[in-house]
Chains A and B, each alone.
Chain A
Amino acid sequence: MSEKSWKEVPIGGLIVEPGNSKNYKTGSWRSFKPVWYEDRCIQCLACWNSCPEPSIFVVEGKVTGIDYDFCKGCGICAEVCPEKAHAIEMEPEF
């Protein structure tokens, strides 16, 4: 977050934008990253439903990718992905 002068801070120090935590990227916490393979995905949405962030992109009921801005790399998505699909794999970040 860029620094603000006291004149720019809302009165009372209020936070005026709901859900502004989306400006704080937690993706740098990650040491392992999930990689999603579209061809193997059966679109069960189990990963989205189990992600604590949530950092799985879902557009019109379909998974379209992983939001690396916020993913903390816990690996739950790869764990809950059905065995027969195995569409998410964890890979080292560095």
Chain B
Amino acid sequence: MASLKELAAREQKLAPGHRACAGCIPALTFHQVLRSAPGHVVASCATGCIEVVTTIYPYTAWKIPFIHNAFENSAATISGVEAAYQALKRKGKVTKDIKFIGFGGDGGTYDIGLQSLSGAMERGHDMLYVCYDNEAYMNTGIQRSSATPFAADTKTAPVGKVRKGKKQYPKNLTEIIIAHDVAYAAQASPSFWRDLNKKVEKALSIEGPAFINVLAPCPPGWRFPTEMGIEMGKLAVDTCFWPLYEFENHKRKLTYKPKEKLPLSEWTKHQGRFRHLHQEENKHLLELAQQEVDRRWKELLFLCGEPA
């Protein structure tokens, strides 16, 4: 694990001047992940916010080889590059040690890119896939995705007189990937940078497919003030909406257990997309959301072998 001083001394793989919004935590996620990976890295990125803001023609923020292919095949692309690298290495044409990281937002991972990600994980490529989950299609104007939380206001699942935001609970992608029995899988947050740094280092050092799901708060999408991004991530973890855990050697392990589990309303009350939940007539929805968070947290504690 590297200290901040060591991380700052490393060559930064992403340049400033990208066009991400002020206070963009997905952009911060990319910085923190790439800083944790010293040495040669080849990256691919699915269509999404960060792919767009870092590569607006005629500029690029990337200082490392970067491939954007299509929305659905970030994992397939990077797994192909990895396979080519292995073949060239076998023939002695490449001697460098190179790491491969695929990126995707929640739209390009949970929804559109799920089949290519599943395939790459199943084939056992030596790669890392990082999903920056900002919980909706933010790039095209905040449409719901399968990662959007229950009752959140989005453009395609709006809050009105009859319907109150998204009706479904978010998909648990980390568990879907764990079901592939991958070498390493984890959930992380840039608000806990030490934990994220450790997980990326671990994922890259382990041979085989690795997956890290990172919750990346989005100020315009979640509708909170731009300076609150780090706090939002912390609250998501402390309310157990986004537990930090990892999966290694066929076992789950909690990497952070909140000292005191906060009620979900502590996290939702700062966000405009949940404003309706704090009105008197919608209290039952907040209650339902809390029940689902509690249920998943209890289940995870059981799977991690922790006392409830």
Contacts and interface: CB of A to CB of B under 8 A. Distances in A.
A48 B32 CA distance: 11
B215 to A, nearest CB: 15
B228 interface: yes
A55 B19 CA distance: 13
A52 B60 contact: no
B32 A73 contact: no
Interface residues of A, number: 40
Nearest to A61: B5
27 contacts: A15-B58, A19-B14, A19-B63, A22-B15, A26-B17, A29-B22, A45-B4, A45-B8, A49-B7, A50-B28, A50-B193, A51-B28, A52-B20, A52-B28, A53-B18, A53-B27, A67-B16, A69-B16, A72-B23, A73-B22, A74-B22, A74-B23, A74-B227, A75-B23, A75-B227, A79-B230, A80-B230
Interface in A20-74: 20-26, 29-30, 44-46, 48-55, 58, 60-61, 67, 69-70, 72-74
Shortest 6 CB-CB contacts between residues of A and residues of B:
A75-B227, A74-B23, A19-B15, A21-B17, A72-B22, A74-B22
A49 B12 contact: no
A87 interface: no
Given A24-B59, A51-B28, A61-B9, A76 B16 contact: no
A92 interface: no
A52 B227 CA distance: 11
Contacts of B54: 21
A18 interface: yes
A21 B230 contact: no
B27 A52 contact: yes
Contacts of B20: 52
Contacts of A13: 57-58
B225 to A, nearest CB: 8
Contacts, number: 113
Contacts of B8: 45, 48, 58, 61
A50 B16 contact: no
Interface string B211-231: 000000001000001111111
Interface of A: 1, 13, 15, 18-26, 29-30, 44-46, 48-55, 58, 60-61, 67, 69-70, 72-76, 78-80, 90
B228 A79 contact: yes
B20 to A, nearest CB: 6
A39 to B, nearest CB: 21
Given A24-B59, A29-B22, 9 more contacts: A13-B58, A18-B62, A19-B60, A19-B61, A22-B15, A49-B7, A50-B190, A52-B27, A72-B22
A86 to B, nearest CB: 14
A54 B60 contact: no
A81 to B, nearest CB: 11
B25 interface: yes
A46 to B, nearest CB: 8
Nearest to B59: A21
B31 interface: yes
A27 B298 CA distance: 46
Nearest to A17: B60
Contacts of A19: 14-15, 60-63
A20 B55 CA distance: 10
